[in-house]
Amino acid sequence: MSQNGIRKLLLDNPVVPVVKIQSLEEVEPLITALQNNNINCIEITLRTDCAVEAIKLAKKCCNDNFSVGVGTVVNTKQLAEVVDAEVDFIVLPGLQKDLVSALQDIDIPFLPGVVTPSEMMEALRLGWDTLKFFPANIAGGFGALKTYGQVFSQIKFCPTGGITKENYPEYLDLENVISVGGSWIQKDLNI
């Protein structure tokens, strides 16, 4: 199964909240609010010192149908930490050659990031057909994804970066977009 089932996870979760946790006190209210609004996943970015502990706490707070993912994984040290934290999925901002074999050796769904046709071709060479398109807003957004759909029909994308409450439905209407990620969800819930 390509990338350990990331495509199914994204199909089941067309909107993925991407959050930066500043303090562990944020975790439980956020997970509760997401679950109460029928959102069953979260991507916690590794952009703060408490991110790994926040992942562990989120795993304890959520129900069995909720997936706790991690974003902004850029090296093998971080990958080892989040595997130990029993994360449900892993999101990378790019294609990192040093991480290829490590990602293929774990049994956790993963989503590598791409922005250029060369990166998409490399992902396909690796057998990866479900990719994060990041940063969508400055990489051509909707128009770029529409074009890439004609060139790379086998790839399904999860765009992030500049996806908003106003524009996400337009992205989800594209045939090659199966999910979107965004930070607006956390703001909408006032958490």
Q: What is the CATH classification number for the domain harbouring 54?
A: 3.20.20.70
Q: Mean per-residue pLDDT for 99-120?
A: 95
Percent of the chain with pLDDT over 90: 94
Which residue in the list 20, 28, 132, 170 is annotated as catalytic?
132
Residue 91 CA to residue 65 CA, distance in Å, equals: 19
**CA-CA distance, 178 to 10, in Å (whole number)?**
6
Among residues 20, 43, 60, 81, the one annotated as catalytic is: 43
Q: Which structural domain range is residue 8 located in? A: 2-188
Q: Which residues of 58-85 are buried (b: 16+ CB within 10 A; e: fewer)?
A: bbeebeeebbbbbbbbeeeebbebbbeb
Residue 159 Cα to chain centre, angstroms: 9
166 part of the active site? no
Q: pLDDT at position 187, please?
A: 87
Crossing angle of helices 51-61 and 76-84, rounded to 10° = 30
Both tokens assigned to 50: 């408490």
Residue 99: its pLDDT value, please?
Answer: 93
Average pLDDT over residues 97-121: 95
pLDDT tens, position by position, 127-174? 999 999 999 999 999 999 999 999 999 999 999 999 999 999 999 999
The total domain count for the chain is 1
Known active-site residue 86: no
